[in-house]
Amino acid sequence: MDPALYGQMRELEDRHWWFVGRRKIVASWLQSAALPARARILDLGCGTGGNLTMLSKFGDVVGAELDDSAAQLARDRGIAPIIRGELPDTLPFAAESFDCISMLDVLEHIPDDANALRAVHDLLAANGKLLLTVPAFPFLWGAHDVAHHHQRRYRAAPLRALLQQSRFDIQHLSYCNSWLFPPAVAVRLLRKWLGGNIGTAGTELALPPAPLNWVLATLFASERHVLNHGRFPFGVSLIALASKASS
């Protein structure tokens, strides 16, 4: 991610509708994940720490972050220890150290996503859970992806195959941010057709007026009521909950 975006993210991620809605969906899935009491949780690619408070409700959390400036912003929250590490080879943890690992919009940043997932598998205890989100649909690629140093966007079937090849049993996988998919597609395609002259990557992190922000956060978060029982066939993102396979 461009370093200038970290400060902007720290200012917005506690209030912006997208972060608020995603946290509520993730929390809902973790509630159904049957984690042990005081689970050992690793937030991989924790960024500036916006998810640490939510995750700490489910256990003892450690954050891992490659970028020093982002890691310091996360430490400044005073919620969890933050270590510097990078997938797949430079995380200072023993095998089977965690009951749950979250990767919230992280996997798309990693060049070798397959080896990264195998490393995550090794860090999980028996029956440990992986909860991840990634951006969906390659045709939505745009300036936002470039500014955030994404390597790719995903479709459901290849992501499912990738998780299975990395020895995960998938409990649930679905598209999300689906209610707002049509306007998101329209905006992304319009920017692409007009050569990126409509807005910038940073505008997607801009905080809307408070009433609109509340409406969008409520709308996005309401998807958890569908996702707890089924799945969406399309969306701006994908979310998956998987267990470490025994063999």
Buried b / exposed e over 192-227, threshold 16 CB at 10 Å, is: eeeeeeebebeebbeeeeeeebeebbeebbebbeeb
- The pLDDT, as a whole number, for residue 198 is 42
For residue 84 the two structure tokens come to: 């510097």
Q: Kindly state the average pLDDT of the residues 114-134.
A: 97
CA atoms of 61 and 196, how far apart (whole Å): 39
For residue 73 the two structure tokens come to: 């912003």
| pLDDT reading at 5 higher than 90 | no
Start-to-end Cα distance in the chain: 35
| pLDDT reading at 146 higher than 50 | yes
28 CB contacts (<8 Å, ≥6 apart)? 224, 227, 228
CA atoms of 108 and 140, how far apart (whole Å): 14
| pLDDT reading at 3 higher than 80 | no
Helix, strand or coil, per DSSP, at residue 234: coil
Q: Domain span at residue 47?
A: 4-244
Question: Could you report the per-residue pLDDT of 91-119, keeping only the tens digit for each?
Answer: 999 999 999 999 999 999 999 999 999 99
| Residue that wins the pLDDT comparison between 93 and 4 | 93
CA atoms of 4 and 114, how far apart (whole Å): 29
State residue 49 phi and psi, 5-degree precision: 90, 20
Q: In the predicted model, what is the mean pLDDT of the chain?
A: 92
Q: What is the CATH number of the domain that holds 44?
A: 3.40.50.150
For residue 199 the two structure tokens come to: 């807005």
Percent of the chain scoring above 90 in pLDDT: 80
Q: Kindly state the average pLDDT of the residues 28-52.
A: 96
Question: Could you report the per-residue pLDDT of 54-91, keeping only the tens digit for each?
Answer: 999 999 999 999 999 999 999 999 999 999 989 988 89
Q: How confident is the model at residue 6 (pLDDT cuts 50, 70, 90)?
A: confident
Percent of the chain scoring above 70 in pLDDT: 94
Domains contained in the chain, number? 1
Radius of gyration of the chain (CA): 17
CA atoms of 106 and 83, how far apart (whole Å): 16
| Residue that wins the pLDDT comparison between 194 and 29 | 29
| C-beta separation of 67 from 96 below 8 A | no
Q: How far is CA 86 from CA 28, 66, 90, in A?
A: 28, 6, 5
Question: Could you report the per-residue pLDDT of 148-204, keeping only the tens digit for each?
Answer: 899 999 999 999 999 999 999 999 999 999 999 999 999 888 877 776 544 444 446
- The pLDDT, as a whole number, for residue 193 is 78
Q: Kindly state the average pLDDT of the residues 13-40.
A: 96
| Residue that wins the pLDDT comparison between 227 and 199 | 227
- The pLDDT, as a whole number, for residue 187 is 87
Which strands sit side by side in the sheet containing 82-84, from one edge to the other?
82-84, 59-65, 39-44, 98-104, 124-135, 237-244, 168-176
Output the DSSP codes for 172-217: EEEEES-TTHHHHHHHHHHHHHTTT-SS-GGGGGPPPPHHHHHHHH
- The pLDDT, as a whole number, for residue 143 is 84
